Structure 1
Amino acid sequence: MINAGQLLNNAHQGASLHSLTLQPLLVVFYSWHWNDYADQLMEQLKKSHAAIVAAGARLLVLSSEDKKHFTSVYPEALPFDVVHDAQHRIARKAGIYRESDPIWGRVSGVNADVPVPAAYLITPSLEIGYNFVDLYLEEEFSPEAVIAAVGKKLAISA
């Protein structure tokens, strides 16, 4: 079971855990080493960002790549925060990165030691309200499912 507080601890430089979770927070793990899958995920996030915010959530992307490498792939300004997950520390806590079970051993075309795609909706009460993990890069992330989960969690907390 993933502990949301532990997952977010030190996730965003300069922001306290409390300020990160004043509203539902969608944490999405990302790596450009996922090739086309990464490109599609980033496009989905850019297209659905406004709807996620309108639903009442905030989006935070945790990238395997440092800022220099990330901005070489995506030089344009993005409407959401992107933070480098140095040494996969947060991905390890989430259970989506294990040196003993690398994604490149399961998925053809991934040639780097990176976590698997994942997304977690963390509620203000630090519960996981939605999760998505794709061990084999075969599933499609659903922004609609996240938006529905945000609405459901906000209705319950109201």
Structure 2
Amino acid sequence: MRSLIVAGVAGVLTLGLVGTASAESSTTLRYFEKQNQFTYTPAGGKPTHTPPNGPVKPGDRIELAGDLYAGDHKHHSRKPIGSDHTICVFDAQAKPHCDAQAAIGGSMLFISSQGGEGDFTSKITGGTGRFFGARGTVLTHPVNDNSDITVRLR
């Protein structure tokens, strides 16, 4: 259950400073996200810092925060280059609808997702600073309770 939640939530939102540009004005950034905060709130219930005992239900909410490192889970920077925050609310079919922000070097990216199990793609909806007007996608690959993130800006 925790890996589904982490995949559906934590990965919704990461990016960083390592990238490559192409002739089409796109940039690919790769990051490793280490989760450092997890809060689960059942619909009408009290927040806890542990995953639910069973399946999530409509109206449940999950909030995650993590540190972002340039690279991936095998090879990444020693110090974080940013942080992220995600909130997911589960709809009538218990599917997550997530909004996330990633703060990197004084700029932010805004990300929206329906979450997912295993690898999934989220949509970049905007940003501030150097990410102002950003569009593109975020591919999340869960690695235990953390995630490898590939950001494609266009």
TM-score above 0.5: no
TM-score, length-scaled by structure 1: 0.23
- The structure where strand makes up a greater share of residues is 2
Q: Which is richer in helix?
A: 1
Name the TM-score, length of structure 2 as normaliser. Answer: 0.24
